[in-house]
Amino acid sequence: MKQTRRALVVGGGIAGMASALTLRRIGWDVDLIDLDPGWRVYGAGITITGPTLRAMKQLGIYDEVAAQAYVGHGIQVCDMQGHRIETVETPIAPEAGVAGCGGIMRPLLHRILSERVLRSGTKVRLGLTVGALDASGEGARIEFSDGSTGDYALVVGADGLFSTVRSLLFPQAEKPRYMGQYVWRTVAARPAGFHQRHFFLGGPHKVGLTPVSADTMYMFLLETCDERPRLDDALLAPELARLLQGYGGPLQRIREELSPQSPIIVRPLEAFRLAPPWARGCVQLIGDAVHPTTPQLASGAGLAIEDALVLGEELQAAPDVPAALDRFLQRRHARCQLVVESSFSIGDKERQGAPAHEQTAILTRSLAALADDI
Ligand SMILES: Cc1cc2nc3c(=O)[nH]c(=O)nc-3n(C[C@H](O)[C@H](O)[C@H](O)COP(=O)(O)OP(=O)(O)OC[C@H]3O[C@@H](n4cnc5c(N)ncnc54)[C@H](O)[C@@H]3O)c2cc1C
């Protein structure tokens, strides 16, 4: 497909922005809409794997990420007191020209991507969603929530876990469900000499630290518990301090320094499984809209960018949009399923309090498989 075509990207998260950049690069006209009038992202850190960094390099943002965030190699697995148990390698082929892993604050990644999207010629409209979608013909006719309409040769549903596009395409699909864990996140000063990702296993919770810049790191803590109402903001610091009780090493200092001003974000882990098809007509679901994962492999953002890259490659190679979307599914399904199922399995182990080596065995196996070319 060489001629200029018109695409709608629904959702301006990592998957949507990566799609807009990829589609513009291969000559498509792109409209991107996002429900949030402020196009915001919450202020947590994320961990990035080597394959995610490789995808970022292909997208053209690796150098900026490496300069402003953190990149490194390996994961130190420690006991509750911070004593090293083992090192998990973070493999990636040297030809990829990227580090084995990294960390970045979501707002920085959002800024890097959104500035590029705005410069790319993508038409961005905010505070808008899809009201109705007719994909019965060759293209798709969209009725937007403000009453306007548009005709597109391709619609990319990148509107996240609670995707409206998915509900319109597959109303019977399983809804997101609680996965039995809450994740607590905060940001702390990165001590001198703290150069790697860390896991603290063997205690009541899995806790992790990832550097996200030269002087900051973020902490996550996975709490196994029943679903419960949202905690009042004033209770977050004392509750996180309670959960961190008994943890030593750098976690002890983080616990001691928690205060009402600490930036703490807590949310339940939710996901669902969606068996193919992942597309109907010329409408393709990508990212968390179709294969959301719990964060044990830290690969959701990477899958989202890879989806965009593969979609772009297949649109260029295939004779028409449906053929490209067929090829997209063939290339993406097994890899996305690997991440989702391995993440769920590690989550099961965490909830059961399984020994550290059982958890890291799945991690090591999965990271090795994900280092393969996409
Ligand atoms: C607690 C937690 C920790 C995580 N940690 C990591 C990590 O360390 N590393 C990692 O790689 N991944 C991590 N992930 C996964 C990662 O955040 C996601 O996989 C990734 O953000 C998916 O991007 P997305 O663009 O598909 O969806 P989203 O980031 O959810 O973006 C969806 C976008 O669509 C917009 N939108 C929503 N509904 C509509 C609508 N109806 N119409 C228009 N727009 C809409 C939203 O405003 C948003 O901008 C984590 C996830 C969670 C929940």
Mutate to test the pocket of ligand 1, among 31, 65, 104, 159 (most ligand atoms within 8 A of CB): 159
Write out the two tokens for 181.
């864990």
31 CB near ligand 1 (under 6 Å):
no
The predicted pLDDT at position 2 comes to: 47
Buried b (16+ CB within 10 A) or exposed e, 182-198: bbbbbbbebeeeeebbb
Query: 255-293, pLDDT tens digit by residue?
Result: 999 999 999 999 999 999 999 999 999 999 999 999 999
Ligand 1 centre to CA of 269 (Å) is 12
CATH of 178-270, one of 3.40.50.720, 3.40.50.880, 3.30.9.30, 3.30.70.260: 3.30.9.30
Residue 12 predicted with pLDDT over 90? yes
CA distance 186 to 258: 9
66 CB near ligand 1 (under 6 Å):
no
12 CB near ligand 1 (under 6 Å):
yes
Can you say whether the dihedral through the CA atoms of 309, 120, 61, 219 is positive or negative? negative
Write out the two tokens for 204.
């009541």
16 CB near ligand 1 (under 6 Å):
yes
Ligand 1 centre to CA of 13 (Å) is 6
58 CB near ligand 1 (under 6 Å):
no
pTM passes above 0.85: yes
Query: 119-159, pLDDT tens digit by residue?
Result: 999 999 999 999 999 999 889 999 999 999 999 999 999 99
50 CB near ligand 1 (under 6 Å):
no
20 CB near ligand 1 (under 6 Å):
no
Residue 307 predicted with pLDDT over 80? yes
CA distance 186 to 283: 37
Q: What is the CA radius of gyration of the chain?
A: 21
Query: 308-328, pLDDT tens digit by residue?
Result: 999 999 999 999 999 999 999
Q: What is the 3-state secondary structure (H, E, C) of 197-248?
A: EEEECCCCCEEEEEECCCCEEEEEEEEECCCCCCCCHHHHHHHHHHHCCCCC
Give me the mean pLDDT over the 63-89 stretch: 97
Supply the CATH classification number for the domain 6-70+100-175+272-370. 3.50.50.60
* Confidence tier at 4 by pLDDT (50, 70, 90): low
Question: Looking at the chain, how many residues does it have?
Answer: 374
More confident residue, 11 or 1: 11
CATH 3.50.50.60 in the chain, residue ranges: 6-70+100-175+272-370
C-alpha distances in Å from residue 285, one per residue of 15, 154, 157, 291, 294: 10, 11, 4, 9, 18
